[in-house]
Structure 1
Amino acid sequence: MRIAIPEERKLVHEMVAPIRWGDMDAYGHVNNTIYFRYMEQARVEWITSLGYQVAPGQESMLMMNGFCNFYKQLSYPGDLILKTSIGAIGRTSMDVYTSMALTTEPNEEVAIGGATMVWVDLTTNKSAPWPEHVLQKIG
């Protein structure tokens, strides 16, 4: 089953990440769990590029669920272009997507995944409305 990716989303960040030897499994391809690590790193880089820390504080953006559609196997060596985009923004949540392509074939997605991110008040462990300063930065 593939999760439908909305056409309308806004590109907010792009980065290149290496495929590491240790990312591969016994079958000689990048293990499926590693794609989630790539998406995590892309989200962390995006969040820190906005001027926010990912370390715990009083409030933070946390992932509530995630998925990945796999289109092509990857193996070492190689470099990935990770493009982070945002979709629907709700009162307390936001859909964030990460597409992946090899730098040698930048127009061919190897995978795309997504996550629902929620703004959380860490003192109460409850979701909270997006602060205006966050909404202004993500535009």
Structure 2
Amino acid sequence: MKMEDRPLVHVARMPIRWGDMDMMGHVNNAMYFTYLETARIDWFTSLGCGPNPAGEGPVLINASCTFIKQLEYPGNIEIRTFIGNFGRTSFETFHQICRVDQPDVICAEGAAKVVWVDFVAGKSTPLTDELKARFAAPLPA
């Protein structure tokens, strides 16, 4: 399934900072993971589901990124988050990173599997139907 065929659930924008670049003059590959993490936390927080060490919250069990086109300072990026399949305690997320001034040019694609965790018990916990509905709610057109 193509990423665009999945529900778009969140869009985050942020600047490319001078310090994000490496000596080769482009954004360091590790920064792409930071951009994706920042977008995911923004999404979770906007849904009232941010990490809560005294309760429940999201934990990544894997993450990937495919680098398609270099990003360079200055500029702003947009990270689009799409929802994937749900399991009993986990769900898939997919991401696109584009420059705001070139929204049709995908610079990177990422993915992460998120497990819902009871932090006090120290183990995964089933996703409720209410949580699944909250995560799967597409952005208004």
TM-score (norm 2): 0.90
Q: Where does residue 54 of structure 1 map in the other structure?
A: 51
CA distance in 1, matches of 2:127, 2:60: 14
CA distance in 2, matches of 1:137, 1:110: 28
CA distance in 2, matches of 1:8, 1:127: 29
CA contact (8 A) 2:50 2:58 kept: no
Q: Where does residue 97 of structure 1 map in the other structure?
A: 94
Count residues in correspondence.
Answer: 136
CA distance in 2, matches of 1:57, 1:63: 18
Query: CA shift at 1:5, angstroms?
Result: 5.9
Unmatched 5+ stretches in structure 1: none
CA contact (8 A) 1:11 1:86 kept: yes
CA contact (8 A) 2:65 2:108 kept: yes
1:68 equivalenced with 2:65 (yes/no)? yes
Match among 26, 30, 39 for residue 29 of structure 1: 26
Query: CA shift at 1:131, angstroms?
Result: 2.3
Q: Where does residue 128 of structure 2 map in the other structure?
A: 131
Query: CA shift at 1:22, angstroms?
Result: 0.3
CA distance in 2, matches of 1:106, 1:120: 34
* Structure 1 residue matching 2:42: 3-state secondary structure: helix
Query: CA shift at 1:123, angstroms?
Result: 2.0
* Structure 2 residue matching 1:106: 3-state secondary structure: strand
Give the share of equivalent positions with the same residue, in percent.
43
| Misfit runs of 4+, over 3 Å | 4-8
* Structure 2 residue matching 1:108: 3-state secondary structure: strand
CA distance in 1, matches of 2:76, 2:44: 21
Unmatched 5+ stretches in structure 2: 137-141
CA distance in 2, matches of 1:5, 1:91: 23
46-55 or 13-22: bigger deviation = 46-55
CA contact (8 A) 1:97 1:114 kept: yes
Query: CA shift at 1:19, angstroms?
Result: 0.2
* Structure 1 residue matching 2:108: 3-state secondary structure: strand
Deviation track 1:54-109 (CA, whole Å, cap 9, x = no partner) reads 24222111111000010011110010011011111111110011111011110110
Q: Where does residue 83 of structure 1 map in the other structure?
A: 80
Calculate the aligned-residue CA RMSD, in Å: 1.6
CA distance in 2, matches of 1:59, 1:41: 19
